[in-house]
Amino acid sequence: MNVFTLDPAGCRWLRRASIAAVAAALAGILLLAVSGWFLTSAALAGAAGPVVALGFNYLIPSAGIRLLAILRTVSRYGERLFSHQAALGAMAGMRGSLFGKLAAQDARTGSDLSGGDASARLIGDIDALEDLIVRKPARPASLVAAGIGVLLAAFAGWASAVALLLLLIALPLLLDRAARRLTKQPAHDAAEALGALRTRYVEYAAARAEIAAYGLADRVTQDLAPLTQALDTARARLHRGEGAIAALLAGYTGLAVAIVLLFSSGPAPQVALALLATAGAIEAMAGLARTAFRQASVSEGLRRLEALLALPEPAATQAGGKPLPLRLGALRLEPGSRVAVTGRSGSGKTLLLEALAGMRAVEVDAAIGEQPPIAQPGTLLRSQFALSPQDAALIAGTIGDNLRLARPGLDNAAMWAALKTVVLDERIGAMPAGLDTRLGEAGGTLSGGERKRLSLARALLAGRPWLLLDEPTEGLDAATERKLVVQLDQWLRETGTGLVLVSHRAAPLSLVGSSVAIERLAPRPV
């Protein structure tokens, strides 16, 4: 369970939560036990006549009962608050470090978690941690409650205490066994069924247009039915298993109280104390039962997180930003040169750009700094190329957030200058919040072509020696396209930046002097 390590602050909160949980459990047991003892003693004293009754010290127990009621409330509140504080801190740390770990992977070799599905699963796994940590304080609380239960049972005689001790030792083992028996298979089945259902459903959801056009909804729903049925069956078994654990606890309480009673040898008030304490001690074990029950479902997610956290940290080998020459097939390009890559759609032009950008592992007849891109470290590729990809690949957030991604320490003037180059300054200047406009929210809805140009502005701001552009003017009207090409030409000249262009449109192709056919480079994903 060493999937995460709590920081010192987290440990402190968890310790406080455990103390509060122990106090709450103690107060809970004592409240009932002392009440029972008080009641019985009071009855005996009352029966013995007014003199004895008046001599009975009722102040301490009755004040104690009220005090315990308050103590239980306060400590239960503390337990919940402190344990959540520990859990939230741990989850925040976990999210941060996990993201750092993922981000540091080389896209060409790292494990692929960029799919929405995988990352959503990851979120779910981290959320499962909350439950795990919040339930941690229940453990010491159960143990202390058990101990105090045995102690109180001893008032009814040593035999009762020993019987209860044995019963309480047996209970966790029994719970563990029962939980494993009841949950292992269904939890596994449920996970399998869920995976199968999700895969199949996503396939159908992707084929939605055809299903709708040809009226195949019933057919497809029927096909999914066995999968949902399997999922429901497994989930129902899990839920019934939870009922069985609850039933086990309830029955065990009856059994334990009856046994403690049968073995008791003390006077009535002490037996009353012992009986109620026994019931309380077993109730306090419910926390353990829940933990045991959830274990099977939680451990799967934890294993995934563990595997991720165990990823190696790639070594950083920053080579500096000195412009390097580029070779595409037989064509050798000095820094500042411009070239178009031609070929039909689907022939691998995008693949070449992604290989140069360090986003994909691709074998290709090309070299940067005398080495094929696949052999160069990612940091070197990044210091040379800035890509504006085919899909704009914007991050959720403001327009400024997207531009600032390009380079640290960008000021507003630089961002506006880049937006002017890509003919977006007027459009974004007209938005009330300007650079702080959130994408996708009212006023920040950009068309496909506008998103493309925002991504182009970001690539310009990165200030790398080579610009990689994938269909930069697709979706633009002729006038805007002309303006963009003129301004881009000027920008390339002023900055001395090289250009690798993929486009089938005449206007941007006028930017380049030479071209190379993609078929010559034979890009092939590895």
Partner 1 sequence: MIWLLDVPGAALFAGGIALAVSALAGGDGISLLAACMILAGGLIRGGAALLVHASAIRTAQRVVRAWRAHLFPLLLAGRLARPLLAGESAALAIDHMATIEAYQSRFRPARAASAATPLLVAAIVAFASWVSAAILVITLIPFALGMILAGTAARRASERQLAALAQLSGLFVDRVRTLPVIRHFGAEDRITRQVGIATREVAERTVAVLRVAFLSGAVLEFFAALSVALVAVYCGFSLLGLLPFPAPEKLTLGQAFFALAMAPEFYLPMRRLAAAYHEKQLGDAASAALTAVEAETPEPPTSARFDGLQVTGLVIQWPNLHIGPVSFALAPADMVALTGPTGSGKSSLLASIAGQIIPSAGAVRTAGGGVLDPGDIAWAAQTPLLLPGTLAENIALARPDAGTDEIARVASQVGLDALLAARGGLALALDHRGSGLSGGERRRIGLARAILSGRPLLLCDEPTADLDAESGAEIVDLLKALARDRAVLVVTHDPALAAAARLEVAL
Positions in 78-97 near partner 1 (CB under 8 A): 80-81, 84-85, 88-89, 91-92, 95-96
User: Is 124 or 493 the residue whose CB approaches partner 1 more closely?
Assistant: 124
Of 359, 388, 354, 350, nearest to 467 by C-alpha is: 388
Q: Which is nearer to partner 1, 114 or 490 (CB)?
A: 114
Read off the tokens for 399: 């327009």
The correct pick among 1, 9, 170, 250 for binding partner 1 (CB under 8 A) is 250
Cα–Cα distance, 125 to 145 (Å, whole number): 31
Using CA atoms, how far residue 302 sits from 95, 112, 235, in Å, is 13, 18, 20
Instruction: Classify residue 334 as exposed, middle or buried by CB count within 10 Å of its CB (0-12, 13-18, 19+).
Output: exposed
306-to-1, 129, 340 alpha-carbon distances in Å: 9, 12, 45
Residue numbers 479-518 binding partner 1 by CB under 8 A: 504
Q: Kindly state the smallest distance separating residue 367's Cβ from partner 1, in Å.
A: 19
- Candidates 23, 29, 45, 302: give the one binding partner 1 (CB under 8 A): 45
| Least gap, CB of 182 to partner 1 (angstroms) | 11
CB 439 within 8 A of CB 402: yes
Please identify which residue in 170, 262, 506, 517 interacts with partner 1, judged by CB under 8 A.
Answer: 262
Identify whether the C-beta of residue 297 lies closer than 8 Å to the C-beta of residue 187: yes
Stretch touching partner 1 by CB under 8 A, among 297-305, 330-338, 379-387, 489-497: 379-387
Q: Pick out residues in 356-375 that bind partner 1 (CB under 8 A).
A: 357-359
322-330, 334-342, 433-441, 485-493 -> range binding partner 1 (CB under 8 A):
433-441
By CB under 8 A, the residues from 437 to 466 that bind partner 1 are: 439-441, 445-449, 451-452, 458, 462
**Nearest residue (CB) to partner 1, 165 versus 259:** 259
Q: Is 272 in the site for partner 1 (CB under 8 A)?
A: yes
The H or E element that residue 386 is part of is strand 385-388
Using CB under 8 A, pick the residue from 6, 11, 19, 65 that binds partner 1. Answer: 65
Site for partner 1 in 203-232 (CB under 8 A): 203-221, 223-224, 228, 232
Other C-beta atoms closer than 10 Å to the C-beta of 302 total: 18
Report how far Cα 36 is from the mean position of its chain's Cα atoms.
Answer: 48
- Count Cα neighbours of 117 within 13 Å in the Cβ-side half-sphere: 6
Q: x/- contact string, 384-403, with partner 1 (CB under 8 A)?
A: -xxx-xxxxxxxx-------
Task: Check residue 31 for interaction with partner 1 (CB under 8 A).
Answer: yes
Q: Which residue, 459 or 492, is less far from partner 1 as judged by CB? A: 459
Q: Is residue 61 a contact residue for partner 1 (CB under 8 A)?
A: yes
| Strand, coil or helix: 207 | coil
The number of residues that bind partner 1 (CB under 8 A) is 156
| Position 152, amino acid | L
Rounded Cα distance between 118 and 109, Å, is 17
**Residue 414 in contact with partner 1, rule: CB under 8 A:** no
Q: Does 295 bind partner 1 (CB under 8 A)?
A: no
State the CB neighbour count (10 A cutoff) for residue 12: 15
In angstroms, give the least distance from the CB of 217 to partner 1: 4
| Smallest separation (angstroms) from partner 1 to the CB of 322 | 16
Reading the block at residue 417, the tokens are 């200058």
Nearest CB to partner 1, comparing residues 127 and 334: 127
Of residues 171 through 210, those in contact with partner 1 by CB under 8 A are: 194, 197-198, 200-210
For residue 116, the Cα-to-chain-centroid distance in whole angstroms is 12
Binding positions for partner 1, 97-136, rule CB under 8 A = 99-100, 102-104, 106-107, 113-117, 119-120, 122-123
What does the alpha-carbon distance between residue 36 and residue 23 come to, in Å, rounded to a whole number?
A: 20
53 interacts with partner 1 by CB under 8 A? yes
Q: Beta 514-517 vs 362-363: how paired, if at all?
A: unpaired
286 binds partner 1 (CB under 8 A): no
- Per-residue 3-state assignment (H helix, E strand, C coil) for 427-443: HHHCCCCHHHCECCCCC
Instruction: Tell me the backbone φ, ψ of residue 343, rounded to 5 degrees.
Output: 145, 160
Measure the CA angle with vertex 343, ends 337 and 348; round to 5°.
90
Q: Least distance (Å) from partner 1 to the CB of residue 401?
A: 9
Would you say 41 or 421 has its CB closer to partner 1? Answer: 41
Out of 181, 344, 493, 524, name the contact with partner 1 by CB under 8 A.
Answer: 344
